[in-house]
Structure 1
Amino acid sequence: MASRVTFILGGARSGKSRYAQHLAAAQPHAQVLFVATAEASDDEMAARIAAHRAERPSHWHTLEEPRHLAAAITAWQPEPELILVDCLTLWVSNLLLSLPEPLDSTAAETLVQAETEALLKCIQTSRAAWIIVSNEVGLGLVPPYPLGRLYRDLLGNVNQRLAAAADEVIFMVAGLPMRLKG
């Protein structure tokens, strides 16, 4: 791979995942670990997950981890040559939804910040190439409820941290990649 850490952002249905998988598949001899953060909370989501599984090459390894990415990736042996994380959008949502209600915004910020720091440390100490996917949620309207605003702010901060650490940042629009960095 040209870059050790490639961060791919975009809106919903912008082609992020397809592009990320294309980049990974372009390394035909690389041992790929696909890290999926989605959870099948209903039938529709289960069908989406099944469709995504079917799209991936059968020789890729899959790790399904909705919350503790760094710990799960660090524990995976042997270390793969390429790690594709899809996606941080659901990961941050899963972290928030793991907290007791009513949601304490300070606890949420602390949890997301700690998990983000752990992920960044995992990336820095890894010898693998990384492709990381996330949604850009800051281009729309301000959410009308506190949880939505907290989620948007936390994911925005996570995206900024990953973009700063990445060698390459790609923004997807209508299936077209726009290079922002690298």
Structure 2
Amino acid sequence: MAQGTVTFISGGARSGKSAYAERLLVAQATGRLVYIASGVAFDHEMEERIAKHQHDRKDHAWLTIEQPVDLHQVVPLLQQGDFVLWDCLTTWLTNEMYKGIEDGAPCWKRPDCLDQKRCELLHTIEQIREIAAHLVIVSNEVLDEWPHYDEETEFYRNAIGTTHQQIVQCADAAIEMDHGLPVVWKGDVR
């Protein structure tokens, strides 16, 4: 059985990542359109962003799966030949980093916790690739070089950078959105 395609799309805030990813999958879809949402409406701005994304998808029959943590739980919900959009990796990473904070032990403070989450994520991406015709992963480019970050921010910056590199290595295509324009760094995107 042929493996599905994995496309990684990154870019800054409001660069057009999600809209581009949606158009890419809608243009190719011969199966279900599945949207995996990692966002949690924890404030008014996030509520507005989620509502906008939902509105943008209204013209197509997207199946939305809310999955802020434990991405592996979506695998049994997928069907062979699905066209899957996961939006977004950076939100998922933040959610996973702070999982356990209510008990005073967030993941980012526990030894190897986030490394285990990243290994599980890469395994989950491969599982989705075996089911889906096309998986598009959206992520944010955040935290360009500054002279100094606090410990928590530096941990996040390193974690997202490492995760991006690992995903791009296994992806078929890697695209950076810049001012609404896709810049293809790896693969052939049609």
> TM-score with structure 2 length normalisation?
0.84
Per-residue CA distance 1:56-107 (angstroms, 9 max, x = gap): 03411111100111222x1204345211101101000000111333541524
| SS of residue in 1 equivalent to 2:69 | coil
Aligned-partner Cα distance in 2 for 1:87–1:142: 27
Give the direction of change, closer, same or farther, for the CA distance of 1:4–1:109 in structure 2 (3 Å limit).
Answer: same
Q: Which residue of 1 is the match for residue 171 of structure 2?
A: 166
User: Residue 37 of structure 2 contacts residue 88 of structure 2 at CA under 8 Å; is this kept in 1?
Assistant: yes
Equivalenced residue count is 179
Closer/same/farther in 2, CA of residues 117 and 35 from structure 1, 3 Å limit: same
**What SS does structure 2 have at the residue aligned with 1:137?**
coil
Is this contact kept in 2: 1:38–1:90, CA < 8 A?
A: yes
Matched residues in 1 for 2:167 and 2:13: separation?
19
- Stretches of 4+ aligned residues off by more than 4 angstroms: none
The residue that corresponds to 2:16 in the other structure is 15
1:99·1:108 contact (CA, 8 Å) conserved in 2? no
Report the counterpart of residue 119 of structure 1 in structure 2.
124
Which residue in 1 is equivalent to 2:183? 178
The answer to whether the 8 Å contact 1:38/1:91 transfers is: yes
Q: Scaled by the length of structure 1, what TM-score is found? A: 0.88
Query: For 1:5 and 1:180, how far apart are their aligned partners in 2?
Result: 14
Q: Is this contact kept in 2: 1:70–1:119, CA < 8 A?
A: yes
Which sections of structure 1, spanning at least 5 residues, go unmatched?
none
- Tell me, what secondary structure is at the counterpart of 1:91? helix
1:127 and 1:107 mapped to 2: Cα distance?
Answer: 30
CA distance in structure 2 between the partners assigned to 1:11 and 1:140 by the alignment: 14
Contact 1:142 1:149 in 2 (8 A): no
Q: Secondary structure at the match of 2:111?
A: helix
Matched, 1:131 2:136: yes
Closer/same/farther in 2, CA of residues 105 and 156 from structure 1, 3 Å limit: farther
Instruction: Give the direction of change, closer, same or farther, for the CA distance of 1:76–1:115 in structure 2 (3 Å limit).
Output: same
- Residue of structure 2 in register with 1:148 after alignment: 153
SS in 1 for 2:49: helix
Supply the distance in 1 between the matched residues of 2:8 and 2:66 (Cα, whole angstroms).
19
Aligned twin of 2:51: 50
> CA contact under 8 A between 2:33 and 2:62: conserved in structure 1?
yes
Q: Supply the AA of the counterpart residue of 2:178.
A: V
Alpha-carbon distance change, 28 to 130 in structure 1, aligned in 2, over 3 angstroms: closer
Identity of aligned residues (%): 34
**Which one-letter code corresponds to 2:66 in the other structure?**
E
Q: Once structures 1 and 2 are overlaid, which stretch shifts more, 77-86 or 91-100?
A: 77-86
Match of 2:72 among 63, 70, 73: 70
Q: How far off its partner does 1:113 sit?
A: 2.1
> C-alpha distance in 2, partners of 1:168/1:109?
25
Q: Which amino acid aligns with 2:144?
A: L
CA RMSD for the aligned pairs? 2.1
